[in-house]
Amino acid sequence: MAAWKGEFSLGVSAFRESRLDDALEHFTNAISQGGSTSHIVLDSRAAVLEKLGRIADALKDSREAIKVAPQAVHGYIRSARLFKRANRLPSALAMAEHAKQLVSPLDGKRKAETESLLQEIHSLREAQRQRESRTRCHIGLLPVELLFNIFELAIHPNAWYMAVQVSRVCRHWRAVALQSPSLWRHVVFSHRKPKSKGRVWRERSKSALLDVVIRGEKMSDIEWGDLIYVELDKCGPGSWNSLDLRASPPMLSPAFKRLELHGLGIRALSLSSYEPMTLGLSSIWHAPVDPESTDEDSVSKPTSRLQSLKLTSIAVQWSGINAQSITSLEFRDVPSQSTPTTPDLISMLTSLPLLETFILDIRTRQPLRTADMGDLPVHTCSLLKTLHLSGSFDHILFKAILLPQLQSFVIRKNMLTEASWILNEILLPGNNTTLTELRLGSCRINLTTLVRFMPRLVNLRVLEVSGTNNKVGDLIHILAGKEPHDNSSTPIMPPKTGGGGTTKIPCPALEVVDFSRCETLTGSSLRDLVKVRMPLERALVTGTGAVIGTGTDAGVEENVFSPPTSTTDLRPGGHEAPVPIRSMTINDCPQVEQALIPWLRASVPTLRHAFTADKTQRKRPRQY
């Protein structure tokens, strides 16, 4: 008998007695004494190493066993089991499938062992695939060009920070982001290392910035100067699309003068001062007639591409605003010493042929400075769609202009003129507009007069009447299809036409309402407004009726009427039923019953209902 066979027998005995270290020693001696030519000895030592957890060493022995006896199934089964423990599932599957081909059909034990091993490996591979599908970066498999297009959709002037976030996801995303200059063309500077940030953005954008915002409230003079006069001068300001400067007057004034040298290419300009100041604007959109001239208002042929201008706390010379390319003009927090006269506003509105948006917010509550009006001709602002006025304006302003395309009209803090007078001028025949938004906040409002305009506003989507002590419930009754001061729960039913009944609801497109700080507002009128505009299937109580009542209990069935068989079109768009109320704001309305709030929240998708914590801080509506 060969010498290695004795060592092999001792190793088998030690293995059966769980003396693994002794078994390993005997099997090693057997291999060194000539047993390396036997696949059984090699597989036995692999079994001991597997028990000891030495997977790599066991794999070496099982590999040698396969080389010695390629047709023996032992090495393949052992290798499959070891690869499975090492989480190398593709290799384990290959070994198990090869073992299945070699096992004898008469060897039931080996066949069952192989089938069980294959099933375990397939289960592990499926679990691994599911884990990878949840964690794998599928977007990283996209072509670089497509990934770049996705980044461009996510990064825009209002989300400029997304460029930084994208570059921090992984190395692949960072490489794509840093190689795409167009992703770095929008930037906001603050007091946090503005100079170094300007250098980084300039390098990554290849000196092709488009949209720049500079918040200088916490910047030092040195940081401001380094950013404005050094870094940004290298970024081609003549090609910028928009610029937003926010700073104190000592910092803003020299920066504005610097802008005059490069700013003729800017399309959107926003200047915000933290204190009232005065700026001359003529040089932004005009070239001086004489380079030696010191006359700030001397103008010649317009050379600016400026389309949007926003000024905050900045006084200007109103007669000098004459940019033919302007489409949006916004003045916020206008200093009291620079309020325009009514003729100034008329002249400005009528001299800008492309103007679509005009917003004027005057700091003082005093009426506009008066001037000799004389006989003013009537002008048409054919493109003006948005008009927001905050302050005391005379209705004479609206006698001199026609607004055929007006869609959004906002009046706030107007103590001079009755709001209904202004609406009367806007909605005159020939000056009738398709208003979609009407907001009246803290104004003189005669609701009795205002309700007469509601049936004419067939395209109105947004309505705000806030900050008033008047009986706003009368207005809501009209919007609910009822007569003012009518406490019945039955809507107005107009004559039937076309063989079916129709309920003419004013403002059928209305879906957003705001009645904040209306202290006389009650919950019953709000419930009427919501119910009458509900979809019929939601409002039905039985198969033949709809709830339109005004009772105090939200779930009580009240007066019921038969559903209409046809509905008259109340809007040019052909809508046959009023749009449901989708948003309602009733902040600081103490008369609204708390018991009704849950029903309103369930019926209106967006409901804002809050109270100022300290009643002394709540603005008390004026009684006009």
pLDDT confidence bin for 253, thresholds 50/70/90: confident
Whether 244 has a pLDDT exceeding 70, the answer reads yes
Whether 201 has a pLDDT exceeding 60, the answer reads yes
pLDDT confidence bin for 495, thresholds 50/70/90: very low
Least confident of 82-96, 178-192, 362-376, 556-570: 556-570
Mean pLDDT within 521-544: 73
What percent of the chain is predicted at pLDDT more than 90?
8
For residue 247, what pLDDT is reported? 82
Report the predicted TM-score, pTM, of the whole model to 2 decimal places: 0.66
| pLDDT tens, position by position, 273-282 | 888 888 776 6
Whether 541 has a pLDDT exceeding 50, the answer reads no
Cβ partners under 8 Å of residue 141, min gap 6: none
For residue 586, what pLDDT is reported? 92
For residue 61, what pLDDT is reported? 85
Whether 329 has a pLDDT exceeding 50, the answer reads yes
- Cβ(245)–Cβ(238) below 8 Å: no
Least confident of 257-266, 397-406, 479-488, 568-577: 568-577
Whether 620 has a pLDDT exceeding 60, the answer reads no
For residue 348, what pLDDT is reported? 84
Whether 369 has a pLDDT exceeding 70, the answer reads no
276 φ, ψ (degrees, to nearest 5): -60, 140
Whether 488 has a pLDDT exceeding 50, the answer reads no
Cα 490 to Cα 483: distance, rounded to the nearest angstrom = 10
- Cβ(435)–Cβ(455) below 8 Å: no
Whether 237 has a pLDDT exceeding 50, the answer reads yes
The widest CA-to-CA distance across the chain, in whole angstroms, is 133
For residue 299, what pLDDT is reported? 37
For residue 464, what pLDDT is reported? 93
For residue 431, what pLDDT is reported? 56
Cα 31 to Cα 285: distance, rounded to the nearest angstrom = 95
Mean pLDDT within 420-430: 73
Could you tell me which of 23, 65, 31, 72 has the C-alpha nearest to residue 48? Answer: 23
Mean pLDDT within 586-593: 89
pLDDT confidence bin for 260, thresholds 50/70/90: low
Q: What is the DSSP string of 254-287?
A: HHHHHHHHHGGG-SEEEEEEEEEEE---HHHHB-
Specify the higher pLDDT residue, 525 or 366: 525
SS3 track for 34-88: CHHHCHHHHHHHHHHHHHCCCHHHHHHHHHHHHHHCCCCCHHHHHHHHHHHHCCC
For residue 276, what pLDDT is reported? 85
Taking the CB of residue 153, how many other CB atoms lie within 10 A of it? 7
Domain residue ranges in the chain: 3-135
Helix, coil or strand: residue 183 = helix
For residue 546, what pLDDT is reported? 33
CATH assignment of 3-135, among 3.40.50.300, 1.10.540.10, 1.25.40.10, 1.10.3720.10: 1.25.40.10
In which residue are the tokens 């010649």 written?
300
pLDDT confidence bin for 320, thresholds 50/70/90: low
| pLDDT tens, position by position, 172-190 | 888 888 888 888 878 888 8
| pLDDT tens, position by position, 133-172 | 777 777 777 787 788 788 877 776 666 677 888 888 888 8
For residue 530, what pLDDT is reported? 92
For residue 544, what pLDDT is reported? 31
pLDDT confidence bin for 515, thresholds 50/70/90: very high
pLDDT confidence bin for 445, thresholds 50/70/90: confident
Cα 173 to Cα 150: distance, rounded to the nearest angstrom = 11
| pLDDT tens, position by position, 389-399 | 888 777 777 88
| pLDDT tens, position by position, 16-56 | 888 888 888 888 888 888 878 888 888 888 888 888 888 88
Cα 514 to Cα 111: distance, rounded to the nearest angstrom = 77
- Cβ(596)–Cβ(527) below 8 Å: yes
Least confident of 70-79, 337-346, 602-611: 337-346
Cα 266 to Cα 268: distance, rounded to the nearest angstrom = 6
Work out the mean pLDDT of the chain and round it to a whole number.
76
